[in-house]
């Protein structure tokens, strides 16, 4: 790694986390949280954010213990080369499959909202091509891309959602735990939120390239909690406007909420289109983070330094994964399986590594 060229700041780390978390799932996860937690969705979302934060802390702690290594590197140090390579390959596979499925999710939303006559393959190919043609040679370039897109993602969302307050019905939020809640359903709603925002594993590939990896906690915490606050805010506003029953009839509650917004003097006739454009930027940065893990992970795992070759060769594989589901319902089933049995265990994985590293007295070199 070239520390002269690849020096990521704490602010950039925060923006990488923010733009990665605020991505594909933000459009639809509210429906699934409400399905389990009912009117308790806002509180369940907050609990889910808190649980996800524990996973983030694990990644930061293990990153600080091995400040010169990515998750690929310290897997081999802690677990041994053989087992470490297997686990690294599994992590890469999880994000390759997740990227394909979430690209399909993005394409379904595009076709269902603004481009109904455009073949879904077109949207998929365009997004994968954007990610595949990005240079992964320089980590600081990857950080700058996230830094650049943050205003385009957040400002429209924050500004556009303020007019919605006039449509808020407080009774939709009471009782705040929902009607006859069960602990199991409430926690399923919390777990759904945790799954939706638990895709920040990319920082395990970025921390070694920071100016001071030992100070990565500050950037990680700020990035995570800004995103968490926005997520809880969006869930609360959506539930307050629509209520439980209406949300369960929607695939993408956020877009429908956008269609309700009216700007004075009718500056924009389709606010949902503005929201969708903002969301597309978020989709791009999220998928870019997934592909960053895949490309950089494969290259480091097999000691191969031609990042563009892997990037281009991996694109058809991601496309095939994206086209695997027969319809949107199957797509959601696949996503839930991958997240539940792949992404979710990754939140606890760093703590396993920390315990094994302590037992085996493994520690990285100082920066």
> Rounded to an integer, what is the distance from CA 266 to the centroid of its chain?
33
Q: What whole-number distance in Å separates Cα of residue 165 and Cα of residue 39? A: 18
Does a structural domain hold residue 367?
Answer: no
Q: Model confidence over 132-143: pLDDT tens digits? A: 988 677 888 899
% of the chain at pLDDT higher than 70: 93
Listed range (37-41, 78-82, 85-89, 263-267) with the worst mean pLDDT: 263-267
For 44-48, what is the mean pLDDT?
Answer: 92
Does a structural domain hold residue 364?
Answer: no
pLDDT at 44 over 50: yes
Does a structural domain hold residue 17?
Answer: yes
Q: What's the CA dihedral at 204, 12, 197, 162 to 10 degrees?
A: 180
pLDDT value, residue 111: 84
Does a structural domain hold residue 320?
Answer: yes
For 317-330, what is the mean pLDDT?
Answer: 92
Q: Which two tokens stand for residue 210?
A: 């920071």
Mean pLDDT of the chain: 86
Q: What whole-number distance in Å separates Cα of residue 174 and Cα of residue 161? A: 21
Does a structural domain hold residue 40?
Answer: yes
Listed range (43-47, 56-60, 319-323, 329-333) with the worst mean pLDDT: 329-333
pLDDT at 4 over 50: no
Does a structural domain hold residue 288?
Answer: yes
For 187-199, what is the mean pLDDT?
Answer: 87
Residue span of the structural domain in which 77 resides: 10-359
CATH number for the domain spanning 207: value is 1.20.1740.10
Does a structural domain hold residue 307?
Answer: yes
Does a structural domain hold residue 298?
Answer: yes
pLDDT at 355 over 90: yes
Considering 107-111, 156-160, 293-297, the range whose residues carry the highest mean pLDDT is: 293-297
Listed range (98-102, 168-172, 206-210) with the worst mean pLDDT: 168-172
pLDDT value, residue 157: 75
Q: pTM value? A: 0.91
Q: How far lies 246's CA from each of 54, 82, 294, in Å?
A: 33, 51, 38
Q: Model confidence over 215-253: pLDDT tens digits? A: 889 999 999 999 999 899 888 888 888 888 888 888 778
The residues facing 210 across adjacent strands are 8
pLDDT at 323 over 90: yes
pLDDT at 3 over 80: no
pLDDT at 264 over 70: no
Q: Model confidence over 326-337: pLDDT tens digits? A: 988 899 889 888
Listed range (26-40, 85-99, 120-134, 251-265) with the worst mean pLDDT: 251-265
pLDDT at 170 over 90: no
pLDDT value, residue 212: 85
pLDDT at 84 over 80: yes
**How many structural domains is the chain composed of?**
1
């Amino acid at each position: 790694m070239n520390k002269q060229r690849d020096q990521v700041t704490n602010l950039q780390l925060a923006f990488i986390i923010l733009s990665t978390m605020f991505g594909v799932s933000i459009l639809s996860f509210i429906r699934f949280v409400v399905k389990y937690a009912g009117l308790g969705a806002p509180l369940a979302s907050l609990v889910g954010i808190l649980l996800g934060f524990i996973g983030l802390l694990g990644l930061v702690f293990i990153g600080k213990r091995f400040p010169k290594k990515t998750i690929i590197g310290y897997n081999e140090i802690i677990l041994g080369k053989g087992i470490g390579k297997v686990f690294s390959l599994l992590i890469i596979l999880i994000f390759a499959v997740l990227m394909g499925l979430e690209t399909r999710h993005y394409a379904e939303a595009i076709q269902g909202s603004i481009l109904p006559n455009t073949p879904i393959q077109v949207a998929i190919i365009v997004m994968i091509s954007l990610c595949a043609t990005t240079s992964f040679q320089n980590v600081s370039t990857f950080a700058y891309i996230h830094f650049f897109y943050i205003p385009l993602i957040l400002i429209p969302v924050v500004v556009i959602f303020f007019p919605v307050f006039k449509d808020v019905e407080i009774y939709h939020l009471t009782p705040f735990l929902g009607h006859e809640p069960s602990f199991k359903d409430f926690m399923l709603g919390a777990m759904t939120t945790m799954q939706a925002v638990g895709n920040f594993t990319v920082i395990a590939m970025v921390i070694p390239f920071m100016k001071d990896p030992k100070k990565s906690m500050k950037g990680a915490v700020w990035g995570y909690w800004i995103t968490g606050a926005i997520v809880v805010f969006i869930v609360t506003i959506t539930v307050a406007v629509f209520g439980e029953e209406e949300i369960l009839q929607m695939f993408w509650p956020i877009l429908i909420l956008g269609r309700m917004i009216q700007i004075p003097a009718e500056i924009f006739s389709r606010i949902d289109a503005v929201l969708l454009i903002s969301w597309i930027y978020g989709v791009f940065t999220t998928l870019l983070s997934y592909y960053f893990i895949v490309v950089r992970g494969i290259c480091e795992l097999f000691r191969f330094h031609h990042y563009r070759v892997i990037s281009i060769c991996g694109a058809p594989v991601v496309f095939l994964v994206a086209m695997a589901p027969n319809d949107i319902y199957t797509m959601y089933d696949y996503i839930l399986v991958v997240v539940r049995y792949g992404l979710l265990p990754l939140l606890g994985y760093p703590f396993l590594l920390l315990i094994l590293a302590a037992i085996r007295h493994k520690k990285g070199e100082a920066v």
